[in-house]
A and B are shown apart, each in its own frame.
Chain A
Amino acid sequence: MKVVGLALLTVAFVLLCGLHLTAGARFSSPGLVIDALFEHDARNYQHVVVVKQRLTRLVVAGYSGAVLAVSGLLLQKTLRNDLVSPSTLGINSGAVTFAVLGIYFFGLDGAALFWPALAGGLFAIAVTFLAAGLVSQGGRDPLALILGGTMTATLFSSATTFAISLDPDRFGGLMGWLVGDIGNFDYQPLAFLWPIGIFGTGVALILCRALDLQTLGAEQAATLGADPRIVRYGALALAIPLAISAVCVVGPIGFVGLVAPHIARLLVGETGRIAMASCALIGAIIVTAADIAARTLLSPQLLHVGTVMALCGGIAFLAIVLTTLRRRIA
């Protein structure tokens, strides 16, 4: 049953990849795409478009969607809170602030931004936990964590704006990244960062079973044989670098990490490695679809993928919050 779900998702993703490579300001026929991939002619402008503009974007979209989704799933499971994700916990915003500071003070770029971004993500999640602790006064209200995350995200966005205002000219070319976007050269940092995604997702799949046990409560999980501390810190230690590796490439694309685990839960259920693999595929599908929409909706004008995601994801976020509230009242 679950395997069928995963197989269908794989087929859907492959078809979407095909659509992604053919669609754009100018439609390329499937035959042309296949030629461009397997009998590439560097002098054929259309071949160049398919490979240099679309294939690179497709890889970036698939990678960021998948790792953000896995990151969100890890966070939701370990914190036992359906509303958390890299964006709603403020991790993405913290990463952007520190990356901008890294650019401003040290002139960093590309994959080197991973380190300041990681520091920012860790700092932001610490602030979120602190703020949530103050809000709920030690209680475990799922909304308190989101409130803390929203406060933190707002705080860091303001800090980002301030840092940019110090030298607006220098950050002019970064506007897309700040909103969250896939650019034609994003594959360059990804060429360095992809091992983080492969390694992180691999370890997450191994840890998956122990994480599933945490959903029964820390004490029950411990007596079943999963050490809660190792699992909890392990999940955080994976989730944060995974999200940061995507943020460094595409910017703070929100909501994928929140929505993908929910869709996976509906399609293939709650537990197991197949559910986690499906979640990664769903994340890849979402961002790839958003990129197709961003390139074609107002064609030849390009939209930011972050804008498309914020519009669709914002609505999904509202729906999830309302369901959570309704379940709590019931």
Chain B
Amino acid sequence: MTSHEKKGEPVLALKDLSFGYGGSAVLESVSLDFRPGEFVAIVGPNGCGKSTLLKVIAGLLTPDQGSVLLGDRPVGSFSRKTLALHMAMLAQTNEAPDGMLVADLVGMGRYAHEGWLSRGTAQDRAHIETAMQTMEIADLAGRRIGELSGGQLQRCRMAMTLAQDARVLLLDEPTNHLDLKYQYALLDIARRQAMAGRSVIAVLHDLTLASLYADRIVLMSDGRVVADGAPADVLTPAHISAVYGIGTVAMPFGRAIVHLPESALE
């Protein structure tokens, strides 16, 4: 599926991005475009810089070189509150105080939309309710965070991210803590967010899930983009071997591409 090439102007453009933590380069000359309506999965081995890339996009880290443009303005030129109207991120931590109520947590997604006095408007409540229904957590609204399982908390945090109603969604390993059912459910929701016109960028570990749900895959290694395109073009045995250093056999299965290690198939 290469429909992204027809979908108009990029909402987000990375131009020749480089970033390093005190000397050692984590990202090297990364250039990528993201368009509305696209679900892009960023994959690669541990330490390849994919989470760092997400943080640079979110303006949490300032690039040493190059720029991140949201529309035609650098991400760093927005205030955090204005940026949050356009861009939401599900961070990888699962920090949240035990005593906080689920409804309050999801409501935090509305912070950027609130004025000093205009909190809890009908619109805020509608977004919170929709997000909770989408993530199937409406029945948890009155529960405390401390009572939840890891998977339930992750779904609540995803609902908070959805309640933010931003046109760019950054998801850092969103399937963390989730069992099989909800891994599929969450990625399906992410894909539907893209179909609704948002730009969804997710860091994923599982190549099969990435191929199954994403429109486009960006494969990274050592801070560089190795391949970028439709799943079938990116997830080839040659790329996997070059990046992960193992020989695999690729098995297409509907949309999905399953890679199995050669060593186990002998």
Which positions in A face B, CB cutoff 8 Å? 80, 206, 209-210, 212-213, 215-217, 219-220, 222-227, 265, 269-272
Contact = CB atoms under 8 A, between A and B. Distances in A.
Contact of A223 (B87, B99, B119): B87
B93 interface: yes
Contacts of A269: 99-101, 104
B111 A213 contact: yes
B104 A224 contact: no
A222 B75 CA distance: 13
B178 interface: no
A215 B112 CA distance: 16
Contacts of B79: 227
A271 B100 CA distance: 7
Nearest to A220: B91
Interface residues of B, number: 33
A133 to B, nearest CB: 19
Contact of B104 (A210, A219, A271): A271
Shortest 7 CB-CB distances between A and B: which pairs?
Answer: A225-B84, A225-B112, A223-B89, A225-B81, A270-B99, A217-B95, A220-B91
A220 B96 CA distance: 10
B141 interface: no
Interface string B104-117: 11001101101010
A222 B112 CA distance: 10
A215 B100 contact: yes
Contact of A219 (B60, B88, B97): B60
B55 interface: yes
B80 A216 contact: no
B58 interface: yes
B19 to A, nearest CB: 15
Contacts of A213: 108, 111
Contacts of B109: 224
Given A220-B89, A225-B111, A206 B99 contact: no
Nearest to B61: A219
Interface in B130-189: 160, 164, 170
Contacts of B99: 265, 269-270
Contacts of A209: 111, 114, 119
A216 B119 CA distance: 20
B83 interface: yes
A260 to B, nearest CB: 15
A215 B88 contact: no
A84 to B, nearest CB: 14
A124 B59 CA distance: 34
